[in-house]
């Protein structure tokens, strides 16, 4: 693999200090200088925004105090940016978390808390699950569409997984080739790049070839029409990026066997690969002269891929790295410990872009012109169905304490998920559990039942192993977080207690997906007016001229379209969760 070099400043002393040790054994990494002033003062008008999104990754990076592997690209990003040390996803899996990112709303309030409702139909059939789409309230739009409506060029490369099919109005392009380099001149952009190499599935099996697309010298052009992208790279090419006998940290709830260590080594090896690919996008921003007009976010879609991490709402499942580099390197090398939830990302993007935050959005901006005057006091999370395994857990966390409410205390913590059981480390847990050879911390996950409430001091017990809910000394904190859990669930109209069959009936009566009414055309004052009878539907349109090359981009209809002679207008309507309408043509001769 080739290495990416940057003509950037050397790693700051504060980050170097934070790397003298290993995150798994450090309760309080030395993050150096705390951010003291707002980093967006003097921000360019309507800056570009880039999201670099990893999968299944806890903050086990040098920038966060874990020196197991070297990540030069992310280290440089942190040296020139700000590390956020209390960022959280609302779920321990991707689809609900990405629903929150796409809408700025809590998944359990939208009925999108189960993992997952959309996938390959054959897989869902095998699990005995019904494939459907979440239907948000009519006022809800994808945040990228809101940015498009306000003059941004928006691209997504390439993962979606929003719990509904995204409409044609969501992106200028969503594909393996999507990139800001295709935008019209002078137009600000919002570009998302997803990196799949750290996903849980790649703890056990090689990467698909398409996941390596970023390393091609001609990316993104080289990603076009690749017939072999669905294939895996050869096993002999799937080398570890670290020595096969490397010492790696293992959290106390996992066993230390050679088979387990190999999986942990693979996790860190995948981080090295991720860093290479992130470096490609950072280099392209630099080559295009965009670093001083772009706000760059790096984060992951939820916590780590290992057992008792992914799918759960301990910090290991929901705490994520978040590094933001600002134009002019504002706040370079500092850290910020404010609480941030994924539902805050959409309103923060609007705030950075100078766009009014829609009233239905449940998050708050932590940056920009509309930055909330009151820092977040709590973050909230939920865990529900995973594949065919059903549970319901809710979490509330302040900066130090974490409250969990188990709605099915009669169910064990561990629920068998076949996908997870492909991992060697999971097989080791099951083997040692059957032999009664796990220690007390490792055996906790296999208890036959769980308490109704749990309370953890995350500063002194970062792995959340000592339940303080019965300790009288913590009663006041227990009541505070318990009441906040009640208020939050009531405030968002949490749907976790509604059987999924009833949710499906609400979304798709009698199991039939509602269909968006097609656009209707009328002409008023030399302009074409489009409308649809479906409340909450967006309309996308294209204008075709004779012999024009067909394009995939659909414009977002916002105002009447001037009539163009010899042009054909194509239009399609789509409400989130509904079936898109048929495409309507209207022409002038």
Q: Which residues does 392 contact at the CB level (< 8 Å), separation at least 6?
A: 382, 383, 384, 406, 407, 408, 496, 497
- The token pair that represents 392 in the structure block: 């319901």
Angle between helices 72-80 and 258-287 (to 10 degrees): 60
Out of 19, 94, 154, 485, the active site residue is 94
Q: Which residues does 509 contact at the CB level (< 8 Å), separation at least 6?
A: none
| Angle subtended at Cα 27 by Cα 24 and Cα 29, rounded to the nearest 5 degrees | 90
Measured distance CA(264)–CA(426) in Å, rounded:
11
By DSSP bridging, strand 584-587 and strand 561-562 are: unpaired
Three-state secondary structure readout of 439-469? CHHHHHHHCCCCCCEEEEECCCCCCCCCCCC
The string of DSSP codes covering 308-357 is TTTTS-SHHHHEEEEEEEPGGGTTTTEEE---EEGGGHHHHHHHHHT-PP
The string of DSSP codes covering 552-574 is S--EEP-SPEEP-TTEEEEEEEE
Cis peptide leading into 158, omega within 30 of 0? yes
Phi and psi at 583, nearest 5°, equal: -85, 130
With left for phi above 0 and alpha for psi between -120 and 50, is residue 104 left, alpha or beta?
left
Angle between helices 345-353 and 94-103 (to 10 degrees): 30
Q: Can 94 be counted among the known catalytic residues?
A: yes
Q: Distance between the two ends of the chain, CA-based, in angstroms?
A: 56
Per the listing, tokens 């935050």 go with 357
Nearest one of 451, 474, 360 to 105, comparing CA atoms? 360
By DSSP bridging, strand 82-88 and strand 340-341 are: parallel
The string of DSSP codes covering 173-228 is EESTT--GGGSPTT--EEEEEEE-TTSGGGGTSPPBGGGGGGGSTTTTGGGTT-TT
Q: How many CB atoms lie within 10 A of CB 530?
A: 21
Measured distance CA(464)–CA(314) in Å, rounded:
7
Q: What residues act catalytically?
A: 94
């Amino acid at each position: 693999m080739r290495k990416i070099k940057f003509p950037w400043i050397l790693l700051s002393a504060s980050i170097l200090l934070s790397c003298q040790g290993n995150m798994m054994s450090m309760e309080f990494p030395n993050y150096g200088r705390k951010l003291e002033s707002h980093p967006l003062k003097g921000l360019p008008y309507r800056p570009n925004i880039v999201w670099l999104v990893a999968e299944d990754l806890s903050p086990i990076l040098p920038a966060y105090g874990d020196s197991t592997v070297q990540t030069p690209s992310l280290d440089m990003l942190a040296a020139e940016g700000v590390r956020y040390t209390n960022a959280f996803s609302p779920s321990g899996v991707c689809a609900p978390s990405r629903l929150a990112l796409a809408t700025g709303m809590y998944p359990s309030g939208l009925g999108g808390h189960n993992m997952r409702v959309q996938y390959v139909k054959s897989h869902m059939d095998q699990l005995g699950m019904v494939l459907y789409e979440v239907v948000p309230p009519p006022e809800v739009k994808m945040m990228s569409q809101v940015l498009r409506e306000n003059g941004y060029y928006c691209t997504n490369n390439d993962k979606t997984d929003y719990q509904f099919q995204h409409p044609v109005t969501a992106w200028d392009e969503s594909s393996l080739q999507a990139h800001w380099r295709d935008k019209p001149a002078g137009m600000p952009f919002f570009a998302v790049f997803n990196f799949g190499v750290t996903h849980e599935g790649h703890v056990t099996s090689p990467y698909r070839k398409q996941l390596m697309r970023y390393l091609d010298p001609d990316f993104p052009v080289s990603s076009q029409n690749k017939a072999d992208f669905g294939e895996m790279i050869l096993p002999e090419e799937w080398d570890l990026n670290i020595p096969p006998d490397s010492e790696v940290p293992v959290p106390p709830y996992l066993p230390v066997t050679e088979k387990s260590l190999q999986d942990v080594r693979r996790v860190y090896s995948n981080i090295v690969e991720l860093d290479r690919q992130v470096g490609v996008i950072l280099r392209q921003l630099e080559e295009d002269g965009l670093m001083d007009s772009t706000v760059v976010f790096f984060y992951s879609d939820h916590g780590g891929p290992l057992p008792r991490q992914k799918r759960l709402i301990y910090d290991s499942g929901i705490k994520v790295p978040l590094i933001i580099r600002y134009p002019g390197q504002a706040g370079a090398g500092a850290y910020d410990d404010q609480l941030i939830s994924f539902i805050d990302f959409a309103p923060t993007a609007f705030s950075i872009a100078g766009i009014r935050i829609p009233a239905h959005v449940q998050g708050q901006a932590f940056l920009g012109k509309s930055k909330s005057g009151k820092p977040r006091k709590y973050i909230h999370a939920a865990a529900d169905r995973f594949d065919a395994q059903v549970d319901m857990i809710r979490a509330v966390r302040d900066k130090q304490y974490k409250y969990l409410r188990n709605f099915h205390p009669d169910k064990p913590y561990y629920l068998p998920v076949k996908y997870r059981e492909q991992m060697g480390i999971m097989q080791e847990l099951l083997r040692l559990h059957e032999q009664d050879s796990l220690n007390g911390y490792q055996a906790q996950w296999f208890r036959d039942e769980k308490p109704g409430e749990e309370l953890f001091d995350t500063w002194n017990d970062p792995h959340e192993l000592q339940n303080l809910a019965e300790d009288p000394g913590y009663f006041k904190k227990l009541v505070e977080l318990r009441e906040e859990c009640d208020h939050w669930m009531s405030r968002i109209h949490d749907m976790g207690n509604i059987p999924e069959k009833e949710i499906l009936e609400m979304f798709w009566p009698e199991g039939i997906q509602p269909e968006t009414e097609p656009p209707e055309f009328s002409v008023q004052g030399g302009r074409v007016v489009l409308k649809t009878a479906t409340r909450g539907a967006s309309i996308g349109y294209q204008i075709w001229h004779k012999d024009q090359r067909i394009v995939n981009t659909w414009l977002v209809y916002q105002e009447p379209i001037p009539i163009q002679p010899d042009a054909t207008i194509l239009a399609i309507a789509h409400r989130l969760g509904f079936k898109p309408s048929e495409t309507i043509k209207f022409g002038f001769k």
